[in-house]
């Protein structure tokens, strides 16, 4: 089985500039090698140039072009191999009588902004221009403009709807409610009451992932504890969860009272999820290990 992994790069501004320069130089090498193959094939002699021929020229190219020297030899060989694979795939389909997908073509220049264009975009944005307008003017996407602004440390403006926009949103909301649909939240925020309604709408048994109010928590040393939902338990107020360990609930039901904060429940057989009352012992928190005595029945036993 072959597995592939994708990693999301988040380069800095300096790294982005270096990657852009590397792409530009490798694109120039790819296009020059492709043009050499085209010219050789268009010659009356129909000379075929292969990967080995072009790879052997890399030393001369690197000695002549200072831009190509800064990149590794193996990366440039990989660029030439990519071109060679494109040619092989094309002529293999032609020989087999199949319709070729595409002929090896020049690598286009990506729609990136130059340093001067980025500075112009920053200056125009500070005067109040919108990123969408700048993108249309410079022939790129709004994301390209946004990335350039962030590289120059510009704090982006928050999009706030105008009075006309708010009126349209309000009208759209009324129309949606009249049609029995939830209105769009574009340009609006949920109120605290609305957030509470959404929270309780799928709370407990209403949630499709409801597990019956029971969850398992991994215990140190192996095994797991069982926790049960007990929203009315008095110890919930001091915790961020509404679940209580099941062995404490079993012991409280057996004693007929709530356990104190310094009281722990010990499992005799060491199985953390075996919460039968005959397997549980009540101990003081400070004496949970070693020789302890039950504070109620006064029986002594050893905890290892």
Q: What pLDDT, in 10s, does the model give residues 55-99?
A: 888 888 888 888 888 889 999 999 999 888 888 887 788 788 877
Show me where the domains of the chain are located: 13-95, 115-151, 214-303
**Model confidence at 241: pLDDT above 80:** no
The confidence band for 267, taking pLDDT boundaries of 50, 70 and 90, is: confident
Mean pLDDT of 189-194: 79
Q: Whole-angstrom Cα distance, residue 30 to residue 2?
A: 29
**Model confidence at 109: pLDDT above 60:** no
The label of the residue with tokens 């221009």 reads 129
Q: What pLDDT, in 10s, does the model give residues 222-231?
A: 788 888 888 8
């Amino acid at each position: 089985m072959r597995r592939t992994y994708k990693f999301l790069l988040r380069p800095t501004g300096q790294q982005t500039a270096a990657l852009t320069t590397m792409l530009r130089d490798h694109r120039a090498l790819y296009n020059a090698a492709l043009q050499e193959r085209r010219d050789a094939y268009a010659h009356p002699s129909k000379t075929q140039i292969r990967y080995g021929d072009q790879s052997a020229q890399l030393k001369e190219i690197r000695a002549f072009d200072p831009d190509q020297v800064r990149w590794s030899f193996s990366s440039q060989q990989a660029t030439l191999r990519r071109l060679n694979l494109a040619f092989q795939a094309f002529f293999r389909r032609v020989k087999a009588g199949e319709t070729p997908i595409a002929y090896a073509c020049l690598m286009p220049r990506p729609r990136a902004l130059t340093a001067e264009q980025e500075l112009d975009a920053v200056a125009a944005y500070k005067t109040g221009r919108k990123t969408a307008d700048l993108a249309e003017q410079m022939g790129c996407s709004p994301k390209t403009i946004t990335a350039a602004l962030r590289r120059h440390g510009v704090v982006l403006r928050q999009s706030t709807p105008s009075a006309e926009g708010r009126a349209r949103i309000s009208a759209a909301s009324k129309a949606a409610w009249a049609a029995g649909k939830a209105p769009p939240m574009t340009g609006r925020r949920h109120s605290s009451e609305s957030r509470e309604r959404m929270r309780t709408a799928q709370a407990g048994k209403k949630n499709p992932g409801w597990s019956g109010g029971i969850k398992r928590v991994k215990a140190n040393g192996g095994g797991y504890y069982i926790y049960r939902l007990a929203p009315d338990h008095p110890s919930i107020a001091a915790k961020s969860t509404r679940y209580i360990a099941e062995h404490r609930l079993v012991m409280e039901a057996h004693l007929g009272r709530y356990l104190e904060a310094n009281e722990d429940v010990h499992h005799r057989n060491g199985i953390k999820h075996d919460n039968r009352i005959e397997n549980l012992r009540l101990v003081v928190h400070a004496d949970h290990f070693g020789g302890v005595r039950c504070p109620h029945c006064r029986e002594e036993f050893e905890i290892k």
